Amino acid sequence: MSAPHSRGVDLPVAIIGAGPVGLAAAAQLALRGQSFVVFERGDSPGAAVSEWAHVTFFSPWRYVVDDGARQLLEEVGWVMPDADRDPTGRELLDEYLVPLAAHPAIVPHLHLGAQVVSVTRLGMDRVPSAGREERPFEIVTTNADGRERRHRARAVIDASGTWDHPNPAGASGVPARGEREAAARISYKIPDVFGTERHRFAGRRVMVIGSGHSAMDSILGLQRLQHADRATEVVWVMRSTPTERTFGGLDDDQLAERGALGERAKAAVDGGAVRLVAPFRVSGFELSDGEVRVTGMTPDGEATIAVDEVIVATGFRPDFSTMSELRLDVHPWLESARTLGPLIDPNEHSCGTVPPHGELELRHPELGVYIVGMKSYGRAPTFLMLTGYEQVRSVVAALSGDWAAASDTRLVLPETGVCHGPGVANEGCTLEQSSGQSAPAASASCCR
């Protein structure tokens, strides 16, 4: 079987995104002596990570460093941080991604400030079939000045993620009535409520919408803010009635910090610091008398809650607009690769039960195009970084013609819970860890 790319074998593999998974793909290609180019929209590697630099992973270093990247870095004297310690986003950038991007095998091929606006077959839209696989890919990028450049590639690895495309608050999957008009009072993603955005939330009545780890992180940041400013009020809204699964594995979680996150979020509700309203399916926003009036459906009918600020943490979704002229085959409700969908469906799986998968499951009808990392999961929240690293290892093996390595997918993931992304708020304390377990005393004394 030949390598899955166009006949332009002298052309590079194009990687979109210089985050953890994109740079891992670059490292794997470098180790195999394959030519590549990396396009990163930001002015530095890991631009998306820099937007949640205040957040601490619930995965320790051992789970956030790619094996191939580690091999490259250690060749130039890099030392792995404490494998059992959970890094912050800032530490991931400064101690791993920036050094990796600066590696001599990668930095010459890294294009910063390069926004990808389209990926197509050269001179061909998605309709023609004859000779399609003979054509190289054409990637169009623009820089900060709007200047356009065109690049050719033999294959494309899209590791651009979903961070720039958060889901709206509306329970129907589209912005709720008035959501756009209330945008100035709504914060998406994971705001730094105790740091750079403290002035916005301190002493205010704040609503958090969502039930995943990003929502829990915001809840705990706001709870910390309550200790500093007692006037701060927190309302936590979920679309469904919470169950034990909502808060993850708690004490049974193999990722101690992920279990601690759910445990602390549940304690905030049980202790009365946070008012939980569920089920509440948001249908509208209205600005009135300086407040945001949020309307939603409850079992008793429509209800309205007045707050000052809203944090929407309802997950993310992929954007395929740059690939509209390529032949993609996506799962009908997850928007992952169709074959991957049943393996990662959050209706059936937690992150710990997702089976190993690689090039075969990530294929699209457009030969040579692979969507990897968080974006490969579409709307499924069950992604862990280790999964992305195994994906690109398999894909790069296939692009190198090593089908035995491409098909030999192996992945051991920590069990329990749902995996919604980065998770434990950095609250100025350290949870003592031994054999992967958090010390209850440390958790109780400085994190609650």
Q: Which sequence spans correspond to the domains of the chain?
A: 13-164+316-407, 183-314+433-447
CA distance linking residue 157 with residue 37, whole number of Å:
10
pLDDT at 244: 73
Quote the tokens at residue 396.
């790069």
Beta carbons within 8 Å of 146's beta carbon, 6+ residues apart: none
Separation CA 420–CA 379 (nearest Å): 10
13-164+316-407 fold: FAD/NAD(P)-binding domain (3.50.50)
Question: Which runs of E-coded beta strand occur in 218-350?
Answer: 233-237, 275-277, 281-288, 291-298, 301-307, 309-312
Residue 339 binned pLDDT confidence (cut-offs 50, 70, 90): very high
**Which residue spans within 64-106 are E strands per DSSP?**
none
Is there a contact between 34 and 155 (Cβ–Cβ < 8 Å)?
no
Instruction: Give the span between the Cα atoms of 32 and 25, in whole angstroms.
Output: 11
Q: What is the pLDDT of residues 220-268, one digit of tens each?
A: 999 999 999 999 999 999 999 988 777 765 455 545 555 677 888 889 9
Q: Are strands 369-371 and 291-298 parallel, antiparallel or unpaired?
A: unpaired
Closest CA to 227 of 198, 254, 259: 198
Indicate whether 316 pLDDT > 80. yes
Surface-to-core class of residue 180, CB atoms within 10 Å of its CB (0-12 exposed, 13-18 middle, 19+ buried): exposed
pLDDT of residue 348: 80
Read off the pTM: 0.88
Architecture of the 183-314+433-447 domain: 3-Layer(bba) Sandwich (3.50)
User: Looking at the predicted structure, is the pLDDT value of residue 299 above 60?
Assistant: yes
Q: 153 CB contacts (<8 Å, ≥6 apart)?
A: 8, 11, 12, 13, 14, 37, 136, 137, 139
Confidence of residue 437 (pLDDT cuts 50, 70, 90): very low
Q: Worst-scoring range by mean pLDDT, 65-74, 219-228, 418-427?
A: 418-427
Q: Extract the tokens encoding 144.
A: 């900060």
DSSP-derived 3-state class of residue 353 = helix
For the segment 341-394, what is each residue's pLDDT rounded down to a tens digit? 999 998 886 655 678 899 999 999 999 999 999 999 999 987 889 999 999 999
Confidence at residue 422, expressed as pLDDT on a 0 to 100 scale = 40
Let me know if the fold of 13-164+316-407 is the same as that of 183-314+433-447: yes
Q: Where are the beta strands (DSSP E) in 387-426?
A: 424-425
- Reported as a pLDDT band with limits 50, 70 and 90, residue 425 is very low
Residue 212, pLDDT score: 86
Phi and psi at 248, nearest 5°, equal 80, -155
Angle at the Cα of 412 from the Cα atoms of 408 and 418, rounded to 5 degrees: 125
Q: How far apart are CA 271 and CA 267, in angstroms?
A: 6
